[in-house]
Amino acid sequence: MNYIDWKKYFDSNKTHFDDINFEEGGYLLPHEKKSITSSLQQFQKGEQSEGKHLFSYAKTFSDPAYLECIKLFIKEEQKHAMVLARFMKVNGIPGIKKHWMDKIFRQLRKLAGLENTLIVLVTAEIIAKVYYKALENATDSILLKRICIQILEDEDQHLSFQAFTLQHFYTSSTRLKQIITRSWHRLLMTGTILVVWVGHRKVLKNGGSFFSKFFMETMLVYFEVEQQIKTKSEPRFALKEV
């Protein structure tokens, strides 16, 4: 697998939301709307990133095909934001311009270089894997369920894509740097789990993820991604046929 393969994947996935009917089963019941509004607003905001720093760092990567992949990846993330915003509009849920949690993640991505940016990004995507599954189960909205299912499929691929690049940094690092990097990522992952639980526990609980389950499911995905990075194993989250 190489970045040409990844570019083919992202190109093939541009129509990933085309079969979703936004006129069918989109409305939330009043109690459902109340329980997910704040949480959904925050995650929709988080998907909106223009990816300026990621794009800037990607220009320094040795393989020129990587930059093309990043362009497509950023557009796919922005598509998530657009689709969620459309669902929110159907239900009269306004978007938000800023949120402290999103601001923290943006600042963390600016700290140092491409590797750190990807570590922070992977942390958010691991959380998204568990969060969108809970959101899928938190309401009876057919439309929201379909949106969540597609986002989950996309996040599978995103995790594989980021792990593929992080393998490059891991294998070229000293043993000491590998230990420091893994320790930093585990600390970031643990802290993020706690913060997300505090801010989104209502949706997570309604979706069947109480804290112990949320923590274990999130760390399970984390360790799977870590193993993929360390061993250069084939992606657990396999590429779609193209």
Q: Could you report the per-residue pLDDT of 202-221, keeping only the tens digit for each?
A: 999 999 999 999 999 999 99
| 134 contact partners, CB below 8 Å, separation of at least 6 | 203, 204, 206, 207, 208, 209, 214
Note the Cα 11 to chain centre separation in Å: 19
Instruction: DSSP letter for 61, please.
Output: S
Looking at residues 28-56, what average pLDDT do you find?
A: 89
pLDDT level of residue 240 (50, 70, 90 thresholds) = very low
Q: What are phi and psi of 146, to 5 degrees?
A: -65, -40
> Is the confidence at residue 114, as pLDDT, over 80?
yes
Q: Which amino acid is present at 24?
A: E
The token pair that represents 132 in the structure block = 């969108």
Q: Note the residue count of the chain.
A: 242
Tell me what the pLDDT averaged over the chain comes to: 89
Out of 96-110, 163-177, 211-225, least confident range: 96-110
For the full predicted model, state whether its pTM sits above 0.85.
yes
Q: Is the dihedral of CA 215, 221, 226, 231 positive or negative?
A: positive
Q: How far apart are CA 114 and CA 87, in angstroms?
A: 33
Q: What is the pLDDT of residues 51-74, one digit of tens each?
A: 788 888 899 898 999 999 999 999
Out of 20-29, 161-170, 176-185, least confident range: 20-29
